[in-house]
Structure 1
Amino acid sequence: MFLSRILAGYISRLFTISVVAMLGALTGLVSLFDFLELLRRSATRPDATFGLVVEMALLRVPWAMLQILPFAILLGGIWAFWRLARSSELVVARAAGLSAWQFLLGPIICAFALGVFAVIAVSPVSAMLFAHANAMEETFLDAGGGPLALNGGQLWLRQGDETKQKGGFAIIHATGVMRRGAVLTTGPMTVFRIGPNDKMIDRIEAHNAKLSPGDWLLYGARVLVPGQVPTPPDVMTLPTDLNVNRIQQSFAAPDALSFWQLPGFIRVLERSGFSSVAHRLRFQALLALPLLCATMSLVAAGFSMQTSRRGGIARMIGGGVASGFALFMLSQVAQQFGQSGALPVVLAAWAPAAAGLMLALSLLLHLEDG
């Protein structure tokens, strides 16, 4: 047992160093291509200086690391186990009576821990920097003025509204929407207040509006009720649980939200009438990341053990790269099906990890004779 713990610690240390080195190399390669793409897009934008392009590329580095982590574990694990196999250390360990499951426990725990650390610690930093990079990209590289400038500055929202009846909601349509920092102002705004039975209660028409914390301030607002005379123009307040950041983020990529922000934001989206499929898919994918990382370590071990017995580094590298590419394609296809509603969100997010785990267990059970 003591020998098993020492060997597991040694293999875990070698495995972690290889994974971190591979993660750094792959992140650098992906970031280089991302930088070249940003540089190409900035060629026709005089405001996008070289320094701004470098800053945008650096801000996206943590996001790239989060996406690459499972494949870095796969390739780094293959490299680590191949070194152990080449030096016959795995052969000696197996000759001493240790099964593959004993000396693989350490790398599996390390890979799982890396996935947990990426979700709870790297994800918040990645989301914050990714959102900032997207804002810079919209300002300096895109022709539009950001998400709120779409459709000529028009905005459609649905939010809960129980001022008239419990279970009611309001549909808001505003034109001339502009954001100045934390303040959102609009031109003419129309609010349709709907009861729980989907029957319209009244309609509010305002000359302009401003979103303040907890309320919409409607200026020059008139309430139109069927069969009654419209009220005189006045200043009205309409309670809301939305704010400028939430409205802005609802148009942004789910990658711009951290693991800790997603559950609450999904609830707000669902209450406000936005589709939360992409955000729920992102949240489930982050939940599945530790399992996917542990699975990749098992896949790497399966290919490396095959090499130690039968020889052939080309087969090992080719098999590992092919399996990683296959899992990547499966994850992309599953995400597309999940976003379209053809697959449940949970199945679409967890399918790559489950498929990789079955592949890894099949390899190890086939190769392990004791």
Structure 2
Amino acid sequence: MIGLGRLERYVLVRTLGGVGAALAVISAVIVLVQFVDLSRQVGVRADVGAAQVFGLTLLRSPSVIQILLPFVFLFGGISAYVGLNRRSELVAMRAAGISAWRFILPSAMAALVAGALTVGVLNPVAAALNARFENDRARLMENYLGDTPKDVWLRQGDDKNQIVIHARSRDTVDGTVRLRGVSLFVYQKNKAGAPEFKRRLEAAEARLMPGFWQLKDVREATAGESSVRSDSLSIRSTLDAEAAMERFASPDAIAFWRLPAAIRLTEQAGFSASGYRLRFEQLLATPLLFAAMSILAAAFSLRLARLGGLAGLAGAGVALGFVVFFFNQFAGALGKGDILPLFAAAWAPPVVALLSGLTLLCYTEDG
């Protein structure tokens, strides 16, 4: 808060206090809802207690909280500015000739910084906790109530070779990915760049080691030749354990710093990386979205209380926040469907929200 006057610091502290209170309330609601939901899903097991369910809840909740953080800045900002308005503090500021821009911009900048921290720090932590949540839940629910392992499909490759991997089941032991009942289809690109089938390998088990797959009880068959058996075999891999696990996860579950590598590996394997690219752009736009929500909160809360209609205007701000949220989801869906360019799908909602807030603020403050 260096360089800010006493008034700006006061309003900023009040705004941050409102944001903190909104974060506490929303987090408590999310934890409660997640606990009830997991109790219904996992808690039906006789050997799973409330402590384990609560532990799973704490692992899962940060990912959900991250999704709702824009509402934290919207609700917290509205709460802070409405409080200042009802205590006639905004009247005193206006009477002293102080422009609203003077104390709104520091709050918006604080939201921008919070957005950058969310993307760079909270997102990787939430992704790691969510990955642990998925593993712990799968372990608790393994072979329960008819749950059966699902087939696993992976693909890796580079400029010369492509390998399609199919397995009947997977698990992770001490950070090592292990596949069972594995089939590997190896293709080599010809001069025209088209893949040509070269060989097929069947293995009872495959472990992903640094830089290679370690196969056990292997049968190798090449086109036009008889199969050859071996106890073990190593196959070069372009995946690491984390990248392999990310293939089983949605783009939302991958940490921000891992997304560029996920995009590169996915495209090397011949798949479309549009989902990962969209998620990367959305995370880059997150700071702007937080700042836009902070400005919207101020724009809908500066009407003087003595003029009436403040509650209705604040309610309209909340409604507009939900509109922005659903617009963001809708634009993301259009981006995933290649209907909108990924850049536009990710950046349009925060830009529209920011322009809406600035327009209303200019109309309210400057006429």
Instruction: Pick the TM interval, shorter chain.
Output: 0.7 to 0.9
Is the 8 Å Cα contact of residues 301 and 314 (structure 2) preserved in structure 1? no
- Is 2:214 aligned against 1:222? no
Structure 1 window deviating more from structure 2 (210-219 vs 97-106): it is: 210-219
Show the counterpart of 1:330.
Answer: 327
Q: For residues 100-142 of structure 1, give each alpha carbon's deviation from its aligned partner in whole angstroms, at most 9, with x where no partner exists.
A: 2222121111111211121122112211112112222233357
Q: Aligned partners of 2:125, 2:218: CA distance in 1, in Å?
A: 43
Q: Aligned partners of 1:111, 1:38: CA distance in 2, in Å?
A: 32
| Aligned partner of 1:198 among 182, 194, 198 | 194
Q: Aligned partners of 1:264, 1:3: CA distance in 2, in Å?
A: 40
Q: Aligned partners of 1:148, 1:203: CA distance in 2, in Å?
A: 30
| Aligned partner of 1:249 among 242, 246, 255 | 246
| Aligned partner of 1:345 among 325, 342, 345 | 342
Q: Aligned partners of 1:199, 1:37: CA distance in 2, in Å?
A: 46
The CA deviation at 1:357 is: 0.8
1:31-110 equivalences under 5 Å are: 31-110=31-110
Show the counterpart of 2:206.
Answer: 210
Show the counterpart of 2:166.
Answer: 174
Q: 1:222 to 1:334 in 2, by over 3 A?
A: same
Aligned-partner residue type, residue 128 of structure 1: A
Q: Aligned partners of 1:24, 1:150: CA distance in 2, in Å?
A: 38
Q: 1:121 to 1:220 in 2, by over 3 A?
A: closer
Show the counterpart of 1:164.
Answer: none
Q: Aligned partners of 1:58, 1:222: CA distance in 2, in Å?
A: 46
Q: 1:32 to 1:217 in 2, by over 3 A?
A: closer
| Aligned partner of 1:184 among 178, 189, 202 | 178
Q: For residues 250-300 of structure 1, give each alpha carbon's deviation from its aligned partner in whole angstroms, at most 9, with x where no partner exists.
A: 111333322222222222222224443333222222211111111011101
Is the 8 Å Cα contact of residues 150 and 169 (structure 2) preserved in structure 1? no
Q: Aligned partners of 1:157, 1:133: CA distance in 2, in Å?
A: 22
Q: TM (normalized to structure 2)? A: 0.87
Aligned-partner residue type, residue 261 of structure 1: R
Q: Aligned partners of 1:177, 1:63: CA distance in 2, in Å?
A: 26
The CA deviation at 1:350 is: 1.8
The CA deviation at 1:144 is: 7.9
- Is 2:294 aligned against 1:302? no
Is the 8 Å Cα contact of residues 221 and 236 (structure 1) preserved in structure 2? no
Aligned-partner residue type, residue 66 of structure 1: Q
SS of equivalent to 1:354: helix
Q: What RMSD in Å do the two structures reach over aligned CA positions?
A: 2.8
Structure 1 window deviating more from structure 2 (279-288 vs 318-327): it is: 279-288
The CA deviation at 1:316 is: 2.7
Structure with more strand by fraction: 2
Is the 8 Å Cα contact of residues 119 and 287 (structure 1) preserved in structure 2? yes
Aligned-partner residue type, residue 120 of structure 2: I
Q: Which runs of 4+ in 1 moved over 6 A?
A: 142-145
Q: For residues 62-85 of structure 1, give each alpha carbon's deviation from its aligned partner in whole angstroms, at most 9, with x where no partner exists.
A: 223322221111111111111222
Is the 8 Å Cα contact of residues 307 and 316 (structure 1) preserved in structure 2? no
The number of residue pairs the alignment matches comes to: 358
Q: For residues 192-243 of structure 1, give each alpha carbon's deviation from its aligned partner in whole angstroms, at most 9, with x where no partner exists.
A: 31315214151233444523221124554435246xx457445543211113
Q: Aligned partners of 1:126, 1:173: CA distance in 2, in Å?
A: 29
1:255-334 equivalences under 5 Å are: 255-308=252-305, 310-334=307-331
SS of equivalent to 1:45: coil
Q: Aligned partners of 2:122, 2:272: CA distance in 1, in Å?
A: 26
Is the 8 Å Cα contact of residues 91 and 304 (structure 2) preserved in structure 1? no
Q: Aligned partners of 2:143, 2:340: CA distance in 1, in Å?
A: 35
Q: For residues 131-175 of structure 1, give each alpha carbon's deviation from its aligned partner in whole angstroms, at most 9, with x where no partner exists.
A: 112222233357689x99323xxx3333224xxxxx323232434
SS of equivalent to 2:200: strand
Is the 8 Å Cα contact of residues 300 and 316 (structure 2) preserved in structure 1? yes
Q: TM (normalized to structure 1)? A: 0.86
Is the 8 Å Cα contact of residues 156 and 171 (structure 1) preserved in structure 2? no
Q: 1:60 to 1:190 in 2, by over 3 A?
A: closer
Q: Aligned partners of 1:275, 1:148: CA distance in 2, in Å?
A: 29
Show the counterpart of 1:360.
Answer: 357
The CA deviation at 1:18 is: 0.9
Which ranges of structure 1 fall in alignment gaps of 5 or more residues? 162-166
Q: Aligned partners of 1:292, 1:10: CA distance in 2, in Å?
A: 24
Q: 1:184 to 1:76 in 2, by over 3 A?
A: same
Is the 8 Å Cα contact of residues 288 and 350 (structure 1) preserved in structure 2? yes
Q: Aligned partners of 1:280, 1:42: CA distance in 2, in Å?
A: 33
The CA deviation at 1:308 is: 4.3
Q: For residues 28-73 of structure 1, give each alpha carbon's deviation from its aligned partner in whole angstroms, at most 9, with x where no partner exists.
A: 1122112111122235322332111111112223223322221111
Aligned-partner residue type, residue 191 of structure 1: F
Q: Aligned partners of 1:239, 1:287: CA distance in 2, in Å?
A: 34
Q: Aligned partners of 1:340, 1:304: CA distance in 2, in Å?
A: 37
Q: Aligned partners of 2:55, 2:82: CA distance in 1, in Å?
A: 38
Aligned-partner residue type, residue 24 of structure 1: A
Show the counterpart of 1:138.
Answer: 138
